[in-house]
A and B are shown apart, each in its own frame.
Chain A
């Protein structure tokens, strides 16, 4: 797969952050275009989630810029980014545990469901129409991620894999331009992983720019247009899946510098 020549939607320029003396992420740059899947890979502790947290406004970057559709959104709060079309999921899940699956998905329509508060108070037809539209949309999304039969269950009772898909459904409800997925397949079985795989491809095909952090290398190689490899917070390689998987620096980072030595001994 090659990169499209469309306008860049999300641009990350020299992004870095330090916690105390530790440079968790240092001078990382890349860009994502509409319809593209860009993956961030790297060993545990490489700074992938930290990078995500900076892009999505959870952390304020120590240096560098994030641009969304040309606008500088560096360090902007998550709710403002949501209004500008950025949506994300979390490695460690951010779900409203005590309400139902359907209600969780409906919260994704928070922005599009907003109307005059007086209309809500009086339960005017316009308010009920918005609420109905949100519910219909939420049910469609749940069907899309395969959770339609769990709609009325309390979210906290779902399996980890199902919650992952619920989070994706809620993120999609915002009708995002950029979707950040942090390990969407973690904790999912092979069948579920393949479903998520298809779902991501489908969402990308609809023109959404997707930024992915994932450990499942088969999945990454299959669906990415472009891969950025991090190690110890630094970008050590970048390119299409074939290029990256041959890169000696990448192999060393994953298997350890002594990998060849071990093989020689064995």
Chain B
């Protein structure tokens, strides 16, 4: 029993990270129908920049904040330099561009930082909290709390605010959005900034548990993508539930099957979703008019 609980704890922790990545996917997807495969690199940058700034002498909170701000700025730059010039290109081309961006960011991180594995201290110490025979790290609570707060913020943003709905309008029909006075370039820049910021936040929160190196991004991107697909692309609620679900499936697979199959779990889920439920748990069924 305590064994199961332990697996659940670790599943929820890693699931919260995937949920944050999936939420990052959601925003850019909502603004442009593009699945941004560089989302995982934002997570990596969040961890790496925080480590770098902290090692350079900045206090941890300030290092974390600067990592989020810098990564958000890099997100805006990515939109400006890579996505905006290709405006009008088919969505598939834009997705391929994001894969290129991901490889580029990984290479650049390798040069700017290094190839070592890094970490920085947990925010509230390393003493495990005992719950019902299992333990959970205080840092896990930070990650889970972070995912929930970001989810709530996005939910309110997309449903309540005019700017949030302007983002949705931009993805639905960019020209029509411009016609009613929406500055679609601003909407795109904003969504890249927020997505990158959320990705960096995930990296900041997760690094004390998962550690960070220049090449961890792609793993996060694929697991987060699996979560977003499972929940239904574009829906914040789906991203949250899907992210946690992938984390739990992964932890249970590692615990009861073999940790060698851990990474395969997410991909089995992607395949199952694509075969049986392409719209995901919360996604809307779409039918094209013919």
Contact = CB atoms under 8 A, between A and B. Distances in A.
Interface of A: 58, 77-79, 82-83, 87-88, 90, 94-99, 107-108, 110-111, 113-115, 117, 120-121, 123, 127, 156, 170-171, 173-174
- 9 closest A-B pairs by beta carbon, nearest first, are A82-B181, A78-B178, A120-B161, A94-B176, A111-B181, A110-B180, A96-B172, A79-B178, A94-B175
Does more than half of chain B's interface fall in helix, strand or loop, or is it mixed? helix
16 contacts: A58-B175, A77-B178, A79-B179, A82-B178, A94-B179, A97-B172, A97-B289, A107-B176, A108-B180, A110-B166, A114-B162, A117-B161, A120-B161, A120-B162, A120-B163, A174-B181
B115 interface: no
Contact of B284 (A87, A98, A110): A98
A113 B162 contact: yes
Contacts of B177: 79, 107
A75 B277 CA distance: 45
Interface string B178-195: 111111100000000000
A60 B154 CA distance: 36
A170 B157 CA distance: 24
B179 A87 contact: yes
Interface of B: 156-157, 160-163, 166, 169, 172-173, 175-184, 284, 286, 289
Nearest to B156: A121
Nearest to B163: A117
The residue in B162, B163, B177, B182 that gathers the most chain A C-beta atoms within 10 A of its C-beta is B162
B160 A120 contact: yes
Contacts of B180: 82, 107-108, 110-111, 170, 173-174
A110 B186 CA distance: 15
A136 B66 CA distance: 45
Given A79-B177, A114-B162, 4 more contacts: A79-B179, A94-B175, A96-B173, A96-B176
